[in-house]
A and B are shown apart, each in its own frame.
Chain A
């Protein structure tokens, strides 16, 4: 595809994006407009008050904050002379100084309240995001899905590791996705708990672009990719991906891949292709399903061998339901059915 065509397509504004802009413009236009004289008066008052405040208020002394571990329990802490309140349930660390506190947030929930107009430049760093405070209250949640930032009031600047800079205001939120292949793997595994296969496949494919070929992470991502393709019913893609994987120099998850291939071939009644992989599996580290599948494939042509394989399957199986089914099938074969 022509790159300019791709660019044209991907820079088309979505209806959601248009709605967001429409909403913001309306909000801005709905704000009451002040008369210029009032503006001038207000500005004068503000300047006078600012001067007075500077004269009266000593700036916050910038004492270094001793490096502190924010441990994995639920806790709260007040820093910067009470101008910053931290509440957390998770883990991270705190360093910097009273005027520039720096939090490295590892996982869990962190809520931050910063008194505005006190010259405090607090930052929260996670693996995926840099969040900079401009006098506000916000919440950071980090887990395997990424870093999510919810702003309660005020505004924050968020810079995702990969992505443009954003300002968020009250009630806005965003999630910075993991950026490393390992992070993508963690996200995909997290999504696996809820069987979100489309999202898993998308995450895995992004991770595979970054993972060094044949690295342990790439191996795990490949297995997850095939599992997702299988769950989405994309049988042909499962076979293509698994066979491509098996052609690698030393595929660590070859056994798993072969079992995916066997399942997909059997689903297509292609016993011939399935048996090529079953032969290898049975020489290496067979499990009950391998013997069961093998027996099913040869039952029509070699009953004796099918029976033997069913017996082996029965020996290896520790699943009561499966054992009962194997036994029933074995009885049928012994009775000549």
Chain B
């Protein structure tokens, strides 16, 4: 959620204050990296995607017209970046020998992510959801945001968040059963 402190930083950053840009970057970097790791799927490198998101954000910050909706703007960029990375990964997988390069050749990690079998299976189940369902499930049930916060971020009515979340939980429950995951999420719960 965009706080009063964020707004101050944004105003200063848009005015060209390098320290404010740095602070803004530092504050939002882990949040974006979480979104990328949780919504990017197994074929997307969260670090690569997060790098691309911030290159875009820092390049276009001056064009942000409504600083109060910074988190929605940032989420929109992340969503588009992830979609682009997913497409590239798909092309690489299905067109052997064709190298589709990312926008930024320097954004390359030097380590392997390790995750448990449980996390990999959760990721598989999330991959089976529609992008809309995946978003609301990650934002509400993984990150613990309220329906109202998510509605502002996704720029949709709260009722739509609730209905997407209900369908997402239903789909997740079915997927979790197929992938032998036991989760308390399966207890139907309303919005927070």
Contact = CB atoms under 8 A, between A and B. Distances in A.
A165 B43 contact: yes
Given A11-B38, A13-B37, A165-B89, A6 B108 contact: no
A4 B109 contact: no
B90 to A, nearest CB: 12
Q: Which of A1, A3, A157 has the most CB of B within 10 A?
A: A3
A229 B82 CA distance: 43
A25 B25 contact: yes
Contacts of B122: 3-4, 6-7
A172 B108 contact: yes
Contacts of B43: 164-165
Interface string A156-174: 0100100111111100111
Q: Is the interface of B mostly helix, strand, loop or mixed?
A: helix
Interface in A1-39: 1-4, 6-8, 10-13, 16-18, 20-22, 24-25, 27-29
A172 B89 contact: no
A173 B111 CA distance: 8
Interface in B98-141: 99, 101-102, 104-113, 115-116, 118-119, 121-123, 141
A4 B141 contact: yes
B1 interface: no
B42 interface: yes
Given A21-B50, A28-B55, A6 B116 contact: yes
Contacts of A205: none
Contact of B51 (A10, A28, A169, A174): A28
For the complex of A and B, list the 3 residue pairs with the smallest distance between their C-beta atoms, beginning with the closest.
Answer: A13-B33, A11-B37, A7-B122
Interface of A: 1-4, 6-8, 10-13, 16-18, 20-22, 24-25, 27-29, 121, 132, 134, 155, 157, 160, 163-169, 172-177
Interface of B: 25-26, 29-30, 33-34, 37-38, 42-48, 50-51, 54-55, 58-59, 89, 92, 97, 99, 101-102, 104-113, 115-116, 118-119, 121-123, 141-143, 176, 181-185
